[in-house]
Structure 1
Amino acid sequence: MAFTLFWAALIGSFINIPIKEIKSYGPVVRMTKVSFFGITYPVPYVDWGEQKTVVSINVGGALVPLSVVLYEVVRLLVLDETFLFTRMATAILISTIVSKAFSRPVRGLGIAIPTFIPPLVAAILALLLGGDNRPLIAYASGTMGVLIGADLLNWNKLKELGAPMVSIGGAGTFDGIFLAGIIAVLLV
């Protein structure tokens, strides 16, 4: 199953599903033509105009981890494993706070987080809170912490990025999500 998730996340990282379009106004580089002695030169200038940012969701970085964690949440609730569910929710909350603290908006790209922060936090939380279920705690906290803390809690900053497309679970956060999943598998 871990091998299948690995490939599903890796292949799915190339697929972005558009979910929303955000419009904002800001500086836009435009071109004009100037003729000088019969030769036409393109001259760039800055003007204010409408910018569109397409917000999409990455299959490998958001939908695959979300489906795995939702499956585990339902499984824990059906099996009445409230203690493990509470530990998992606590780990996700801590990882979300750390991810929010380290994530930064990058103009023209999206929201970025240092690559090794999510897997390190996931591994530490798995060792502290995981008990016999370290892979579950590592995977859930590493993936959901980044998705919630880095991507969703920075939603209000997407207008300021000036990027033509921003991907939830992609670009600047996919590496951390993917590596957190790998670390979880290695803890097995």
Structure 2
Amino acid sequence: MNRRVIIPPVSLPLLILLAFLVVIVFIFFSGVVIAAFGKLGIPPEVAFTLFIFALVGSLINIPIAEETTYEPVLALREVRFFGISYPVPYFEWAERKTVIAINVGGALVPLSITAYELLRMIYMGNFVLLFNTLIAVLIAALVSNAVARPVKGLGIAMPMLVPPLMAVLLGWILGDGNPNAVAYVSGTLGVLIGADLMNWRKIKELGAPMVSIGGAGTFDGIFLAGIIAVILV
């Protein structure tokens, strides 16, 4: 007997409403990002371009390394005895490869902004702020590493609110007249170093075919951590 699954068509008013909501969310989020970048001294047109790059780039992962591990797997082979076949289990070593990639929107775009802020501190001769920023990055990295957890088959996961809240606190304490820059740099580099780089040895043990730095679930960890931190400072 043939069974048919009938999916009711989506009405035109509902499609219009969904499109309207998407536009509203895009405008709101882009406005938040532009306002955050404005606090960092980035012009609105450049900030909007970076936002588009981050949005589109979140779908792009660039492979940078490949880790190979060997793990035992259970297999079966047949053994014949007096004409009767018996399945006999045995262990063999299987090769597993994990591709490590870096996400354009979730890692490279925040890193470019971080590099801009650090170079501007050096250019302006504000070495006290630069020193405070590096101390903030170290603290944020240690905290991120403490709360990050390797998830089998997925990658490195961490609570979304911990990095921005830590970055806000560090911006207030070590800001030295520019808490926004300290919050953003520590919020982005802290997650990148603490959650990803400090767990590099554990990545190959996760069993995932690909682990993306700043991609998928960690997009909010690196990119949004800096944005939220700047807004809250």
| Shorter-chain TM-score range | 0.7 to 0.9
Residue in 2 aligned with 1:84?
129
Specify which of 38, 44, 54 is matched with residue 99 of structure 2: 54
Specify which of 43, 58, 82 is matched with residue 13 of structure 1: 58
With normalisation by structure 2, the TM-score equals: 0.69
Residue 195 of structure 2 corresponds to residue 158 of structure 1? no
Residue in 2 aligned with 1:70?
115
Sequence identity percentage: 59
What is the RMSD computed on CA atoms of the aligned residues? 2.3
Q: How many angstroms apart in 2 are the aligned matches of 1:72 and 1:53?
A: 33
Quickly say closer, same or farther: Cα 1:46–1:60, change in 2 above 3 A.
farther
* Unpaired segments ≥5 residues, structure 2: 1-33, 38-46, 78-89
Specify which of 103, 113, 124 is matched with residue 158 of structure 2: 113
Q: How many angstroms apart in 2 are the aligned matches of 1:163 and 1:140?
A: 29
Q: How many angstroms apart in 2 are the aligned matches of 1:145 and 1:28?
A: 37
The answer to whether the Cα contact below 8 Å between 2:110 and 2:223 also exists between their aligned partners in 1 is: no
The answer to whether the Cα contact below 8 Å between 1:21 and 1:52 also exists between their aligned partners in 2 is: yes
Quickly say closer, same or farther: Cα 1:122–1:81, change in 2 above 3 A.
same
User: How far is the alpha carbon of 1:180 from its aligned partner?
Assistant: 1.5
The answer to whether the Cα contact below 8 Å between 2:107 and 2:223 also exists between their aligned partners in 1 is: no
Quickly say closer, same or farther: Cα 1:165–1:133, change in 2 above 3 A.
same
Higher relative contact order (CA 8 A, sep 6+): 1
String of CA shifts for 1:138-167, please: whole Å, max 9, x gaps. 110000000000000000111110000011
Q: How many angstroms apart in 1 are the aligned matches of 2:222 and 2:76?
A: 39
The answer to whether the Cα contact below 8 Å between 1:134 and 1:184 also exists between their aligned partners in 2 is: no
Residue in 1 aligned with 2:219?
174
The answer to whether the Cα contact below 8 Å between 1:136 and 1:184 also exists between their aligned partners in 2 is: no
Q: How many angstroms apart in 1 are the aligned matches of 2:72 and 2:107?
A: 31
Quickly say closer, same or farther: Cα 1:72–1:51, change in 2 above 3 A.
same
Quickly say closer, same or farther: Cα 1:101–1:76, change in 2 above 3 A.
same
Q: How many angstroms apart in 2 are the aligned matches of 1:59 and 1:150?
A: 17
Q: How many angstroms apart in 2 are the aligned matches of 1:120 and 1:29?
A: 46
Quickly say closer, same or farther: Cα 1:157–1:125, change in 2 above 3 A.
same
Residue 219 of structure 2 corresponds to residue 183 of structure 1? no
How many pairs were matched up?
A: 176
Q: How many angstroms apart in 2 are the aligned matches of 1:48 and 1:75?
A: 52
Letter in 2 for 1:134: P
Residue in 2 aligned with 1:103?
148
What is the SS of the residue equivalent to 1:161?
coil
What is the SS of the residue equivalent to 2:215?
coil
